[in-house]
A = this chain, B = another copy of it.
Amino acid sequence: MSQQLAVGIDIGGTNTVFGIVDRRGNILCEGSMSTKAHEEVTLYLAELHQHLSKLIDQVGGSANIKGIGVGAPNGNYYTGNIEYAPNLRWKGVIPLANMLQDLFGLPTLLTNDANAAAIGEMTYGAARGMKDFIMITLGTGVGSGIVANGQLIYGHDGFAGELGHIIVIPDGRLHPGTGMRGSLESYASATGVTNTAMEFLTNRPDDASVLRKYKQEEISSKVIYEAAIQGDKLALEIYEYTGKVLGEALANFVMFSSPEAIILFGGLTKAGDLIMRPVRQHMEKNLLPIFQNKVKLIFSELKENDAAILGASALAWEMKD
């Protein structure tokens, strides 16, 4: 029975979630704490150690744990460092995997959250048995993890797979976080959809829309979704446009690594066919014939609340014994 469980830790800008997972993807116990309460990473780790040690005791001690997997912004798989993460209070390079390894005496691997999501999907979810797929997370931002030949692509420096920052519309919308224009994330994220709504409302003063009832700061992806399912024409066009931009980007990704499937995860997928129909249409339209009607476009099979812990924990199963 020893070495049959894995610890998963997902470090977000606001909160950290953690749990202990078995090989089938059942979360046996879990917890959460604030990330941003601690300006010092050592104090953060002391609190995490306290919480997680209790959970490890609950499952019979660390002899039952194969290792710790961590998903973290700007996490580098090769070094185990968090490097210059703009959304964390800890600046510079933080050797987080080594610090956890020293604290718990357990082997630790770390990568960014979207890569962890891809490994989670390959281990427990929609990508089981697949050797070539692309995971796209459509949340506040756009993240990605790319698997080819059964392996995650980390690139020569550990930072591969930043598909959210690929330029899809040259000289397009400004991304305030990166200073770049026309990146996928500027259109296909929750923020992107809201910005598209603002643009449409401003540039088409004659088009009626229930969205005009809201103040600018009240417009959110939720409000737009509700307008769209009520048949609001402008709201539907916002999804149409977002789906076009995302579909064109996915076509380019397919011509890069020719995946068996593209797996989508995150808030934007809740719009279902509103977004997926134009995504599929514009993806197929922009593919060479040899790629057409081949790529599965599917949603994650992991529960939204579990995905972060599961993805991180799956790193532990990749460790050599």
Residues of A within 8 A of B (CB): 74, 83-84, 130-132, 146, 148-149, 151, 153-163, 165-170, 178, 180, 248, 251-253, 255-260, 286, 288-291, 294
Q: How far is the CA of A158 from the CA of B258 in the complex (A)?
A: 8
Q: How far is the CA of A165 from the CA of B292 in the complex (A)?
A: 13
Instruction: Evaluate contact between B160 and A258: CB separation under 8 angstroms.
Output: yes
Copies of the chain in the assembly: 2
Instruction: Evaluate contact between A258 and B290: CB separation under 8 angstroms.
Output: no
Separation in Å of the A50 CB from the closest CB of chain B? Answer: 33
Q: How far is the CA of A164 from the CA of B238 in the complex (A)?
A: 30
Given contacts A178-B288, A256-B256, A258-B160, contact A151 B154 (CB under 8 A): no
Instruction: Evaluate contact between B248 and A161: CB separation under 8 angstroms.
Output: no
Instruction: Evaluate contact between B252 and A155: CB separation under 8 angstroms.
Output: no
Given contacts A163-B256, A290-B83, contact A131 B156 (CB under 8 A): yes
Instruction: Evaluate contact between A160 and B256: CB separation under 8 angstroms.
Output: yes
Instruction: Evaluate contact between B83 and A146: CB separation under 8 angstroms.
Output: no
Q: Which 5 A-B pairs have the closest CB atoms?
A: A155-B258, A160-B258, A156-B260, A132-B156, A162-B255
Separation in Å of the A184 CB from the closest CB of chain B? Answer: 10
Nearest residue in B to A160 (C-beta to C-beta)? B258
Q: Which of B74, B146, B248 contacts A167 (CB 8 A)?
A: B248
The contact sample of 26 A-B pairs, CB cut-off 8 A, is A130-B156, A131-B156, A132-B155, A132-B156, A148-B149, A148-B151, A148-B153, A149-B149, A149-B151, A149-B154, A153-B257, A154-B258, A155-B258, A155-B259, A156-B258, A156-B260, A160-B258, A162-B288, A162-B291, A163-B256, A165-B255, A166-B252, A167-B251, A168-B170, A169-B170, A252-B252
The interface residues of chain B lying within 8 Å CB-to-CB of A153 are: 148-149, 257-258
Q: How far is the CA of A260 from the CA of B248 in the complex (A)?
A: 27
Q: Which of B160, B167, B258, B289 contacts A252 (CB 8 A)?
A: B167
Q: How far is the CA of A167 from the CA of B287 in the complex (A)?
A: 9
The interface residues of chain B lying within 8 Å CB-to-CB of A159 are: 258, 290-291
- Can you add 9 more A-B contacts, CB < 8 Å, to A84-B290, A130-B156, A170-B248? A132-B160, A146-B256, A148-B148, A148-B160, A149-B151, A159-B291, A167-B251, A167-B252, A167-B286
